[in-house]
């Protein structure tokens, strides 16, 4: 049912993506540039960018476009940021949400490990800026682990996002090569703490890096044990030859089985498929677990298509280009 070779083998047909640049794609690209925003869609070479942008769906990164970590799967630039926090960024993001007339926004970031707060105050201010401009818009945040800082997590939770997302990314046995600067137990504990403080929680992983089915099943049990509301599972695709190779292409039937088992284990909603990414269909996922809102920015013109703006680093996690 699946390929077990490396990423030098051509993609199976279910991973082929039709490229299309329509008027919505070009308009969103202009809006991002005019507001000096960063998108994970572009930085991480997401295979869904053509579909999502044409439906006026995008994933934006806050806190800059340079990440302090060097994960083996990620296409986002690695380095040490030479700037402090951009305190005007929250208003620019909120302005983009308002201009697009969205009902749900997803916000993520690069890791900022050079800061003790991990950039958490910008997350909080972005949530508040969106609330001021568009009170009815639902907000999901996809946050880094903040190196385990409870204070940074609380800063974000105090701004009351509708959904708190933090990606586990992979099974614990692969952390040394996939997420060398992170710890599985620390990420799981973050989800548990957020849930204990009343948040709706979400996490995501990619498969195809060499994990076993048994390891994925164990991870899903861990996710269920911390009462996480949503799990996303997608196929890993190699961004460049310098990144980790694909060890297996999972068949859509295998993704369907992951969904079935995850929900049997007690996870309320599992989104599982080859091209599933952390923010893909995020508004629908939130609605399924009671984390969405029934509103939008009424001052903006009506949208043509999906009314979601995903403002996301670690979704880079799932972002890849065609393998060479």
Q: How confident is the model at residue 20 (pLDDT cuts 50, 70, 90)?
A: low
Give the pLDDT band of residue 243 (cuts 50, 70, 90): confident
Q: Return the pLDDT at 46.
A: 55
288: CB partners within 8 A, 6+ apart = 230, 268, 269
pLDDT in tens, 267-323: 999 999 998 877 767 777 778 887 766 555 655 444 444 444 443 333 333 333 333
Average pLDDT, the chain: 80
Query: For residue 25, what pLDDT is reported?
Result: 64
Specify the pLDDT at position 240.
Answer: 77
What is the reported pLDDT for 306? Answer: 40
Task: Read off the pTM.
Answer: 0.82
> pLDDT-based confidence at 51, cuts 50/70/90?
low
Q: For residues 57 and 105, give the distance between their C-alpha atoms in angstroms, rounded to a whole number.
A: 9
Q: What is the pLDDT of residues 179-234, one digit of tens each?
A: 988 999 999 999 999 999 999 999 999 999 999 999 999 999 999 999 999 999 99
- 39 vs 34, residue with greater confidence: 34
Average pLDDT over residues 166-171: 96
């Amino acid at each position: 049912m699946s390929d077990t070779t490396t990423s030098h083998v051509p993609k199976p047909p279910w991973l082929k993506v039709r490229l299309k640049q329509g008027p919505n794609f070009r308009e969103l690209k202009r809006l991002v540039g005019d507001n000096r925003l960063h998108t994970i869609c572009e930085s991480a070479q997401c295979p869904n960018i053509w579909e999502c942008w044409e439906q006026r769906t995008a994933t934006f990164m806050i806190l800059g476009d340079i990440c302090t970590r060097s994960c083996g799967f990620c296409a986002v630039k690695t380095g040490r940021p030479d700037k402090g926090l951009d305190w005007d960024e929250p208003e620019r993001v909120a302005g983009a949400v308002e201009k697009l007339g969205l009902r749900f926004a997803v916000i993520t970031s690069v890791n900022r490990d050079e800061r003790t707060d991990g950039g958490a105050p910008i997350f909080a201010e972005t949530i508040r800026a969106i609330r001021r401009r568009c009170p009815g818009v639902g907000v999901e945040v996809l946050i880094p682990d903040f190196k385990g800082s409870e204070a940074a997590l609380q800063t974000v939770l105090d701004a009351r996002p509708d959904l708190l997302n933090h990606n586990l990314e992979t099974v614990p046995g692969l952390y040394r090569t996939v997420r060398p600067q992170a710890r599985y137990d620390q990420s799981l504990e973050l989800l548990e703490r957020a849930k204990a403080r009343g948040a709706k929680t979400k996490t995501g992983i990619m498969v195809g890096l060499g994990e076993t089915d048994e390891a994925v099943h164990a991870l899903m049990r861990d996710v269920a044990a911390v009462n996480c509301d949503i799990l996303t599972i997608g196929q890993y695709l190699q961004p460049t030859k310098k990144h980790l190779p694909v060890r297996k292409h999972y068949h859509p039937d295998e993704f369907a089985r992951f969904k079935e088992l995850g929900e049997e284990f007690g996870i309320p909603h599992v989104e599982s498929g080859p091209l599933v990414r952390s923010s893909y269909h995020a508004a629908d996922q939130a609605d399924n677990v009671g984390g969405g809102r029934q509103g939008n920015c009424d001052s903006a013109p009506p949208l043509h298509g999906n009314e979601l703006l995903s403002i996301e680093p670690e979704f880079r996690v799932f972002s890849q280009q065609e393998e060479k």
